Amino acid sequence: MMYLIDSSIYIFRAWQTWPDSITNTFGEPANAVFGFADMLAKILSTEHPEYIVCAFDHSHKTGERYSIYSEYKANRPEAPPELQIQFDRCLQAAKAFDLPAFGSQRVEADDIIGSIAYAAHDEQMPVTIISADKDLTQFIREGDVYWNYARNLRQNSQDIEKRFKLRPEQIADMLALCGDKVDNIPGVPGVGQTTAARLLKKWKTLDGVLDNVEQINGMQFRGAPRIAKLVDEHRDNIAIARELTGLIHDPQLTTTPSMLKRKKIDADTIQSALQTCGFNEPRAQKLAIMSVAKNSAVKKLAVTPSTATASNIAVDTGSASGTTSSADVK
């Protein structure tokens, strides 16, 4: 099983849920790093993954989607400075656990996860995608797991199909028709997820829908003639949206599963690495032990947001840029 972590969404969640009074030894905010590292340690302890990757978003304003559509994610405010300075250290924390960690100036974390998932599928290796972003459900196939970690909800491909009334591989086409307000992606006015699912259920693909626009008139749902007219009038928007909702591949990324195998690493090595990147000794030791502990030891070792204090962690931080995002389902 290949575990693929949508890191950014959990960094934002940690920033929103862990006390903002947490600072590092340099007096800088560290609540996002604290929560993110705690989550990684728990996943390592409970899942013991042999293959695992942390995907990060490094393509804000530089990614290919911004050249396709200049208003992409334009509705999102900039991440505040107290969060921005924690992004780089979250990446460093992942590496301290000896986790392969990737970011790209060209593509997003979604694309990194999708590319690795496809490579794993090519080798008959199932994947677990850890995220709360609905966009990533498009990469789930038979035998895979979509894990909303915060809700402790694990879904398979059949669960995804039941949720959206479509197969996972149709999700990108659905979003091209109905748009995605979270990412400021234009769709067809008046077409929501339910209507998009109706159209794709009948014609299977986006091309199939566009090739049969006139036949939408005869479909048995209210306003079908109006929807047919709107889909026909917004073909250009649909084409742009489809470029935004699907996978964009970065050929420079390492996606070969055998190269993403986590090495065996002991707690002392992890602790040393965490201390090198700024964690104080007690917190680094606790996270290191948690990450290699058996399941029964996790509850005793874990630190929760309600018990976290500034003295629990010491994290140096670097610079990064980004936008704020919901930590729940998009």
Residue among 286, 279, 283 nearest 301 (CA): 286
Q: 81: Cβ–Cβ under 8 A, 6 or more apart, which residues?
A: none
CATH number listed for the domain at residues 2-161+248-312: 3.40.50.1010
pLDDT tens digit sequence for 38-88:
999 999 999 999 999 999 999 999 999 999 999 999 999 999 999 999 999
Query: What does the DSSP 8-state code read for residue 137?
Result: G
A 10 A CB-CB count for 297 gives 13
3-state secondary structure of 199: helix
Indicate where the chain has its CATH 3.40.50.1010 domain(s). Answer: 2-161+248-312
168-245 is classed in which CATH architecture? Orthogonal Bundle (1.10)
pLDDT tens digit sequence for 137-192:
999 999 999 999 999 999 999 999 999 999 999 999 999 999 999 999 999 999 99
3-state secondary structure of 191: coil
pTM: 0.89
Q: What is the Cα–Cα distance from 53 to 260, expressed in whole angstroms? A: 7
Residue 129 has φ and ψ, to the nearest 5°, of -95, 120
Burial annotation 155-186 (CB, 10 A radius, 16+ → b, else e): bbbebbbeebebbbebbbbbbbbbbbebbebb
Unique residue bearing structure tokens 């630190």:
303
Of the chain, the percentage scoring pLDDT greater than 70 comes to 89
Q: How big is the CA angle at 56 (ends 18 and 304), to the nearest 5 degrees? A: 20
Q: 78: Cβ–Cβ under 8 A, 6 or more apart, which residues?
A: 321, 322, 323, 324
Indicate where the chain has its CATH 1.10.150.20 domain(s). Answer: 168-245
Q: What is the pLDDT of residue 305?
A: 56
